[in-house]
Amino acid sequence: MESTNLNESESHSRKEWHSDKSERLFERQKKLIPSGSSSLMRTSSWEPYPLFINRGKGSKIWDIDGNQYIDFLMAFGPLINGHSHPKINNAVKKQIRDGYLFGAPNELEYKLAKMFMKFVPNQDRVIFSLSGSDATFNAIRLARAATGKDVLLKFEGHYHGLHDYAAISVESPPVVSGLKRFPRPLAYTAGIPAEVMDTVVVANWNDPESLERILKIRGNEIAAIIMEPIMANSSVVLPDDDYLKAVRELADEYNIVFIMDEVITGFRVSEGGAQKLYNVKPDISTWAKALGNGLTISAISGKAEYLDLIGNGVAYGGTYFASPISLAGALENLRILSANDFEAYRHLKRITRKLAKGIEEVGDELNEDMLVNWETGLLSFAFSELRKVKNYRESIQSDWEKYQAVQKIMLKKGIYLHPDAFERIPLSTAHSEEDIEAFINALRDSVKEYKETEE
């Protein structure tokens, strides 16, 4: 992989950790910006305040107090090739010189579509948008238009953005969500109309019998089934063998559009996403994070019979959809990932496996119950007695307070990790073997320190 080593001016010995500037800025910012940031994801779970990051290079970031970290959050997943990659920087700089935005077609859109098909050749069409929420919202609309049906089926713990139809049962505590065979839809946020709730059916994931039972009752109403092919918003949970194929078969049986939300898994777990990994072809797919390496771009792809409805009865568009700057950066990002016969994914698999094995060894060494789930470029761990989790209801059975306490100690050791155990650890091609070893060593020392405080 291309070297992302820091030069001497960027490297420095670790000083005593403090975050005074972040604390003060957060207090000032809350007076102008609700919650202190324009995305709750950036402040939620960070107690008593989040760190303000102002620079990144490769696998490293720096906060406004000057603390350096190895980044194991990577902006929640987009930065597949690390921070400030020089080749992507150069592509973006060139486009900035040529113009930001034209409100007209641009040749880069065709070039990116061609490159996209190199990664995902099982798709007939692709169209670009701005965010993952844009992509899932429009994919659902396409499915409804194509089938003439209104109801959406989603799964507990799966996240597909914050539009009304997706923001349901993202969190689904069993005490209020009912039986797992027939979960009750729960609004993730205030402000979702009851009429919207009536158009969403919720199911338990990794449970084909339960899904089939629901479809026998309501299958003739359902336009689309949408899912993450690998759960990655309620920790990382892998599909059981042949589960995705079973869903594909049920969707066909009931004339339901199968939408695979690859916003997180796309261009990450393999060059063709989870659908290549598991050899399952959805009707429509959505893509975002790793597509742009931090630039604002997403995509919808799929069968021509669905995508060609755009402009033929289905409206689609946005001022900033497929902006030339994002197209230029995404195109260079995919070029980097495709180099040397997709060598990037072999590197990602090696370091993800190394991290998973290291975390497990720390648990064994320190006699801690630690559950690790991973796929190429994607990992989560939890303090849990469970040896395997299959769905949302099992994923919440872990020691959240211990995870958060250990995360705080690791932060002071230079490991930037989200305090919510549900958040995945997305690795990048910029991460080195040494970065992985630093994480494992920091985890070992942090768990030891935590255990000492508990004694």
For 16, left (φ over 0), alpha (ψ -120 to 50), or beta? Answer: beta
Amino acid in position 34 = P
d(CA 44, CA 323): 30
Q: Could you give the 3-state DSSP secondary structure of residue 208?
A: helix
For 280, half-sphere exposure in the C-beta direction (CA atoms, 13 angstrom radius) is 28
Of residues 159, 392, 403, 450, which has the active-site annotation? 159
Q: Where are the alpha helices (DSSP H) in 198-292?
A: 208-218, 243-253, 273-277, 289-292
**Is 159 labeled as catalytic in the residue annotation?**
yes
Give the N- to C-terminal CA distance of the chain in Å, as an integer.
44
- Catalytic-role residue among 289, 303, 390, 413: 289
Q: Give me the residue label for tokens 């629901």.
A: 214
Q: What is d(CA 288, CA 268) in angstroms, rounded to the nearest whole number?
A: 11
- Note if 289 is an active site residue: yes
What is the C-alpha to C-alpha distance for residues 338 and 272, in angstroms, rounded to an integer? 11
Please identify which of the residues 71, 164, 261, 283 carries the catalytic annotation: 261
Count Cα atoms within 13 angstroms, Cβ side, for 337.
30
* Token output for 371: 């559950």
CB 79 within 8 A of CB 264: no
For the annotated catalytic residues, the residue numbers are 159, 261, 289
